[in-house]
Structures are given as C-alpha cells and as structure tokens.
Amino acid sequence: MIRFFAAPMAAMALLLAGAADASAAGMIDFTGTSSTGYLGSSVSPIPRTTVMYNGSYAPGTVVVNTAERRLYLVLGNGQALRYGIGVGRDGFRWGGVHKITAKKEWPDWTPPSQMLARRPDLPRHMKGGIENPLGARAMYLGSTLYRIHGSNEPETIGQAVSSGCFRMTNDDVTDLYNRVSVGTTVVVLNN
C-alpha cells in the first residue's frame, strides 16, 4: 500500500476527493480508503481509538462485545484498539470463539439461503466493489456464515441491523485486516 501525507498532496487530495476542506493531518492511500474517509466516504460515527483494556486475552486476540457494539484488538500492556461495529439485530446475535479462516479484499457476496428466504429481492450474487454490502475487506469466522466485514453504509455502525455479521466502516475494516492474520482467535461476547 502506498501512502502519502495529505499536506504535500493537498491539491491532489482536493481534486480526488472533491472536498473543499480536506484535512492536512489525514493520510490518503490509493486503495479507496483514507484515515479521514474522503476517498472511501466511510468516516465512522464511532472513531477508532486506543483504550485501556483489562481482559485476560492474549495480544492479537479480537474480542467482539455485542452489547457495547465494539470490537477490540488486544494489543497487550493493558491496551486494546477499539473499533465501532454494527451487530446482529434481535434474534441474530450470537456468541462463541472462532478463528479467522480466510481474508478477502473487495470480496464477492453470495447471500446464504436463509437470508434469501427472508429477502427474496436480494441479488443471488454480487461482485466485490464499493456497492457490495461486504465493503472493502472481509474476515471469515470458522465454518460459520458470519464475517467481520466492511460496509457501504457507515451510518449503521453502532446499530443492531445485520443478520449476525459484524460491520465496520471500510477504513476501520481495512485497518483491522492489515493487523490480523488467518488463524487469529475471535471471541464473540453476547451478554
């Protein structure tokens, strides 16, 4: 990934983003996302932040707290990186421990048969891209139908709207995707 600080590239950032007030502190990358959200239009209503974390999980563990609608990447030394997420609506929340079994950039989406039964209007298959509901990245959880994935609807972060997957903004899911690997433990707490 190639990154440039926006200050020396301010004119280009304004041209690319069509924004009148791009932040000089932001970073632009050419993967379709940015730390300020100008290229991916995915600024989270719940900003990513480093927090104190007293859990007993090993560094590198992902902990999803469905009640808080937050995902934590345990860093160690009593800290974690906290992200805002969208979670399953009533009847679709779940808990357990899984591993990330696959990671995909701009994944295709094929709605599972259970979802198609509830929503026959959905497409049977959708190629990856900015309009795809899985967003910029997806991390698949064990043999389940569930994923941690991006979203083309950043306003749903912090809400209970999914069919059990965990949604993040494209900026945040790309950040997490770059920090974890296949085999990472994911603990889903459904309090």
Give the catalytic positions in this structure.
149, 165
User: Helical H runs in 53-169?
Assistant: 113-118
C-alpha to C-alpha distance for 18 and 117, rounded to whole angstroms: 41
Q: What would the two tokens of residue 75 be?
A: 């860093």
10: left (phi over 0), alpha (psi -120 to 50) or beta: alpha
Q: What is the 3-state secondary structure (H, E, C) of 16-42?
A: HHCCCCCCCCCEEECCCCECCCCCCCC
- The alpha-helical segments, DSSP class H, found in 43-139 are 113-118
Longest dimension (CA), the chain: 52
